[in-house]
Amino acid sequence: MFQSSHAYFKANDSSGQSRLAEILGAFSYALDLTEGQPAGHSIRACWIGTQVAMAMGLNGDELRDIYYAVLLKDLGCSANAARVSEMFAGDDRKLKHDFKLIGPQPEDFGAFVGGAVGVDATPEVREQALCNLTENVGEIMTDIMATRCSRGADIARRLRLSEDVAQAIAHLDEHWDGGGLPLGIAGSNIHLGGRIALLAQVVDVFYTARGKDAALAEVRNRAGSWLDPKLCALFEKLSEAVGFWEELALEDLPEQLWALEPAAQYINVDEDYLDDICFAFGYVIDAKSPDTAGHSARVGMIADKIAEILGMGAASRRVLRRAAILHDVGKLGVSSSILEKPGKLDAEEWETMRSHAALTTNILGQIGVMSDMAMIAGSHHERLDGKGYPLGLDERSIALESRIITVADIYDALTTDRPYRSAMSSEKAMAILQSETGTAVDQQCVEALQDLIAQGQLS
């Protein structure tokens, strides 16, 4: 179950305004899930990176851009999850976690491949994966990193962040000596934000896994190869300050991080911007699976249209659409080896799959301005007869908004291709929904959907 490693915080100030840093900081916990990192990794990395940037004398827009680049360095991480799972024949979240802990030498990567590839797969699948990696490792790793970096940069732009933030995220996996991926650029040609983000990532990954001495050893070991040596020297001086490492474990670290954002630079989020943020994270969610491109936006659109037919007001529909777009955010915490499995899930896999609904509720519940939609979004697998999940709610306690999202989600899932079956026709999908009316799904919602189809608003 997802839980923040820090105290609950609300993404709005006492005036009711929503601050961008706090909203995106809360969403960063979902990115940590996707990367298999302990909760709060992005927050801690941002704290480290911002301390380095301030020690360099950066302020204003430059400091703000470093701040967001490090906080959101993993925006593209879901885009290569399925590829990692396929190529390494395993759980992408565990593979990504362990990959960040390998040493900087080529033989370290070789040892990782030998010990991590296909460990839970059949001997045949493991052998095939090992052979493929051996023969095509350069192409595969370049593709995996390029997907992550380019998608992350694109989503940063969708979040209305600066081009400097986008470029910093695009350069996250480049190395000072030119040995990084996907571009192989070196030295100061790597965006400063990317250099700081990689340093902060290395520090926190090794600190949380093995302690401060291990983190310092890795910084020294990678200075001049992976990492900018001047940044490493600056970080070492910072790390000698009394309480530096202890601050990373403080319960109120998120609030301290928000306070580091330049006061003159912090951005309040209005309703239109909040819509854009939801759509952007819809792209993050859908990137987790090659077969769900556009699913979040389509569910949002269908839910909005159903609600309009049912007479829901514009303001309520706006909240509903956001909840519908984010209903699957919990899937970022589920391995692609499960999401992409073409056959039937076993009991343990099915339990993991089911956990995504509760994860959705927990993730959105971390975001003060979105907390009112957390239960709505997380209840999309509940049934009127009480046989759904995660809470077993029934018709007495399932909100109309959740019922709408359920119908929209099922319809879109049935009418698009999935790993285990081809897309159904609209007629067949509606027949299935109608057969479940009154037991699983709400009759008025199904009837509203049928009206949309009859009006030609849906195919």
pLDDT digits (tens, 9 = 90+) for 342-356: 889 999 999 999 999
Threshold 0.85, pTM exceeds: yes
Identify the CATH class of 1-269: mainly alpha
How far the first Cα of the chain sits from its last, in Å, is 37
Neighbours of 82 (CB within 10 A): 22
DSSP summary character for residue 33: H
The predicted structure's pLDDT at residue 98:
97
Of 379, 271, 278, 291, the closest CA to residue 326 belongs to 278
Is the separation of the CB atoms in 68 and 24 below 8 Å?
yes
Q: How far is the C-alpha of 408 from the C-alpha of 421, rounded, in Å?
A: 19
DSSP string for residues in 15-36: TSPEEHHHHHHHHHHHHHHHTT
- CA distance to 35, 210, 282, per residue, from 360 (Å): 16, 30, 13
Does residue 227 contact residue 48 with C-beta atoms inside 8 Å? Answer: no
**Active-site positions?**
331
Phi then psi dihedrals of residue 441, to 5 deg: -120, 160
> Interior CA angle at 386 toward 431 and 377, to 5°?
80
What is the per-residue pLDDT for 432?
A: 97
Range(s) of the chain covered by CATH 1.10.3210.10 = 1-269, 293-327+341-454
- Determine the pLDDT at residue 15: 41
CATH architecture of structural domain 293-327+341-454: Orthogonal Bundle (1.10)
Structure tokens at 13: 């100030």
Q: Is 344 exposed, middle or buried (0-12, 13-18, 19+ CB in 10 A)?
A: exposed
Residues of the chain with pLDDT under 70: 1-17, 262-266, 419-420, 459
For position 358, what pLDDT does the model report? 96
